[in-house]
Structures are given as C-alpha cells and as structure tokens.
Amino acid sequence: MMPSAQLEAILFAAGEAVPKKRLAALLEASPDEVAEVLAALHKDLSGRGIVLVETDTEVELRTAPEAAPLMKKLREGELARDLGRAGLEALAVVLYRDNGATRTEIDWIRGVNSGAIVRSLLLRGLVERVEDPSDKRKMRYRATTDTLAHLGIAKMSDLPRFEELSHETVAAVAAAQADNDTNHGDA
C-alpha cells in the first residue's frame, strides 16, 4: 500500500485530528517524510469530496468546503431522527464520566467505533469538546448545560446512581488502559 493510502486510512479510521508525531510513528517515517506523504495526499484528494485540514501539529480529513450545502441537508436529516440506542449509550458514557470522556473511552466502553454517534451528539448540542487537562493532545466530550436542563437535573451528581456508575466506568477504563499498556509493553 502506498504511503499516501496508508495515511488516508489512518486519518479516516481516527475520525478526528491526529498529531503529526503520531503519524510519523505509525508510518515509521521522519517528519520530512510525513510532510512529503501529506503533500501527496493533498494532491490525491484534489477535486474530491474530502480535503486534508492541517495545522502545524495535527492533520484531519474533513469534507470539502464545496460540499457545504449537501452536508447541511445531511445534518438536517440527522437532527430530525431520534437519537437512538447508540446515541443514548454514548451520551450515558459522557454523563457518567465525571470529567467527560475521550472518544477512545467511549469506543472502548461501547465496544464499537463511536465517531458518527459523537458527531451527532455534537451537532445536536448535547455534548461539547473540551481540552483534556491531563493531556493537551486529547479532547474530552462533556455534557452541555442544555443536556442537563433537558434531563431536569442541575448537576451531574443528580443523575440516578451517579456515584456507583461513575466509579464503575472510571475503574473499567483504568483497567482497560492498564491491560492495554501491559499488552503493548508500555507499562
């Protein structure tokens, strides 16, 4: 597989901005080589519905600006549908993680990729992205005040069985991270 195709696959699977340093590690390439692969992917995507959005430190696949009217129709259709079980599951994970949850944590607890569901929650204004205070490279998703108001609660601790379930989710994620670190030799 060509390096630009590998990069495209990584960015597509991530579903969010990926640090360039992480890309270099995954591609086993130098920063200069990553820059070359990024340039090739930019060229490959020219005139297509997806563009590469790049900052000094991160890269992400996004829809092309020319597709904005079509994306508006798509979003309107999404917002007209019920949230569904998957949306409720992801929202519950965010609600019962006292400091919000990362996309990785949501995925791990649900056992599936939650990118589309998280995007739907963001579009609906039920969650918001905030910087993770313990790791500036990560984003956390937390419930908005509108969500709390809609649920008829003033604070997260007013949720049913909040203490019990929030401790269980914290313990489950910590155990999974420890297991992952042990299996990958990072411990």
pLDDT digits (tens, 9 = 90+) for 3-27: 899 999 999 888 788 899 999 999 9
Segment among 32-36, 80-84, 121-125 with least mean pLDDT? 80-84
Q: What pLDDT score does 139 carry?
A: 87
Q: How far apart are the C-alpha atoms of 130 and 143, rounded to whole Å? A: 10
Q: Are strands 58-63 and 101-102 parallel, antiparallel or unpaired?
A: unpaired
Q: What is the mean pLDDT of residues 95-121?
A: 86
Q: Does residue 153 share a domain with residue 102? A: yes
29, pLDDT greater than 80:
yes
Residues 29-39 have a mean pLDDT of 93
Mark whether 93 and 160 lie in a shared domain.
Answer: yes
The H-assigned helical ranges of the chain are: 3-14, 20-27, 31-45, 68-80, 84-96, 103-110, 115-123, 145-151, 162-183
Average pLDDT, stretch 31-55?
A: 91
- Asked whether residue 73 is domain-assigned, the answer is no
The whole-number average pLDDT for the span 174-182 is 67
The reported pLDDT for the residue numbered 39 is 93
Of 66, 91, 108, the one marking the end of a domain is 66
Which residue's structure tokens are 């020219």? 46
Q: State the CATH number of the domain containing residue 44.
A: 1.10.10.10
159 and 107 in one domain? yes
100 with 54, same domain?
no
* Per-residue pLDDT, 76: 66
Find the distance separating the first CA and the last CA of the chain, reported in whole Å: 32
176, pLDDT greater than 70: no
- Structural domain for 137, as ranges: 82-183
> Is 77 within a domain?
no
Residue where one domain finishes, among candidates 66, 96, 121? 66
Average confidence (pLDDT) over 148-177: 77
Q: Identify whether residues 87 and 173 lie together within a single domain.
A: yes
Supply the Cα-derived Rg of the chain in whole angstroms.
Answer: 19
Q: Are residues 86 and 152 in the same domain?
A: yes
Query: Which of 40, 66, 92 delimits the end of a domain?
Result: 66
122-136 mean pLDDT: 86
Give the residue among 55, 71, 73 at the shortest CA–CA distance from 16: 55
Residue 62 in this model has a pLDDT that exceeds 90: no
| pLDDT, average across residues 57-75 | 83
Looking at the fold, whether 163 and 94 belong to one and the same domain comes out as yes
Among 5-19, 115-129, 173-187, whose mean pLDDT is lowest?
A: 173-187
pTM metric for this prediction: 0.53
pLDDT of res. 88: 87
Q: What is the mean pLDDT of the chain?
A: 83
pLDDT value for 187? 42
Domain shared by 100 and 40, yes or no? no
pLDDT over threshold 80, residue 117: yes
Question: Is 71 a domain residue?
Answer: no
- Domains of the chain: total: 2
d(CA 79, CA 102): 23
- Other Cβ atoms closer than 10 A to 114: 26
